[in-house]
Structure 1
Amino acid sequence: MKRNLLLLLSLIVVLVVYNSCKKERQSYLPTLLTSSTWELASVQVTTYQGSTQLGTATLNTNCQLKQTFTFNPDQSCSYQNFICRSDIASGKWQFSDDKLTLQANMLCKDTVPGGKDTVDAPFLNARIVNLGSYSLVLETGDINEYSGSTKKRVIRRFAFVHQ
């Protein structure tokens, strides 16, 4: 009887350990990202010199176009109306190994000061500030926190909500 009980307990322990290890390899992040389309809520641009914040501006406050970011389970993605331009940019996305950075290789048309058109990959290396059921916040630009004390850097913060 003791032997059967010991065998049963050993089997239960093995099953629990196996099931726990199996779950470590799974990630809920792709499901959060691909569950539906993300709509842009705001874009903030913050300028720093070293660690000192010089100013913050909110962009696209007068844009009448709905800007959406769509991530698909096959790792394709698209951004509609980037920076309030009637256009669709497409590419591929993936998470970095540590799941802290979103990498999307799509090229978007942008306008720089002076009215000159340019092509940019704004989400090629985007730090994930927040990814939840209802919101996604990405930071792009000079996100390296170890810049020199005299170097100016610009960080763009894109905030999205589920559509």
Structure 2
Amino acid sequence: MKNKIPLILVLGLVVINLLSNSCKKEDNSNIPHLLVSGTWQLASLQVSNYVGDQRISLDTLNDSCTLTQTFTFNANNTCTYTNFACQGQTTTGSWTLAANKLYFASDMVCKDTVPGGKGALRDTVPFSNAQIVTLGTYSMVLQTGNVQPNYSPTSRRRIVRYGFIRQKAITTQ
């Protein structure tokens, strides 16, 4: 009986531990906090064209742009992009994260450098379905375009990859 008391005590502690750890946990994702933690400045923009999984071209865009392009996410789920496609414009919209926190969508409409009808710049929704490739304290990489995981081996796909760096917030004293 003397040897059974420590065994019963250990089993009791194991049961209590299992019951306390089986409760549903809160969503502790830090992705929304990282998105809204500052202004993101565009550092690189690449366009890859694929046939199936074979990349047939890689183009770097905006390498001669002198305008600073920034993307800002706000805690109230609004966002602002300034100077999209190296055009002097400020565009606002709203954003939402997917349940898996790997994609976000924005309804922001920007003017693109590709001419539309009658010589006007065409409207585009560049982040209507954006995949978050990397997101950290100081950098963020987004992919847009045909980013679905399943595709046919002969389908043509275009993926635009945006690389951002977080800008330090300027505080006034």
TM over 0.5: yes
Name the residue aligned to 1:42.
Answer: 44
Pairwise mapping of residues 6-155 of structure 1 onto structure 2 (< 5 A)? 13=17, 17=21, 21-23=24-26, 25-112=27-114, 116-155=120-159
1:27-46 deviation line (CA, Å, top 9, x unaligned): 21111110100000000000
Root-mean-square deviation (Å): 2.5
Q: Distance in 1 between matches of 2:92 and 2:150?
A: 32
For 1:58, give the aligned amino acid: T
Structure (1 or 2) with the larger CA radius of gyration: 2
Q: Distance in 2 between matches of 1:44 and 1:149?
A: 22
Q: Distance in 2 between matches of 1:152 and 1:35?
A: 36
Q: 1:15 to 1:162 in 2, by over 3 A?
A: farther
1:17-65 deviation line (CA, Å, top 9, x unaligned): 48x7444x22211111101000000000000011111010100000000
Secondary structure of the 1:26 match is: coil
Gaps of 5+ in 2: 168-173
Q: Percent identity?
A: 44
For 1:71, give the aligned amino acid: F
Give the aligned length: 157
Report how far residue 146 of structure 1 moved: 2.4
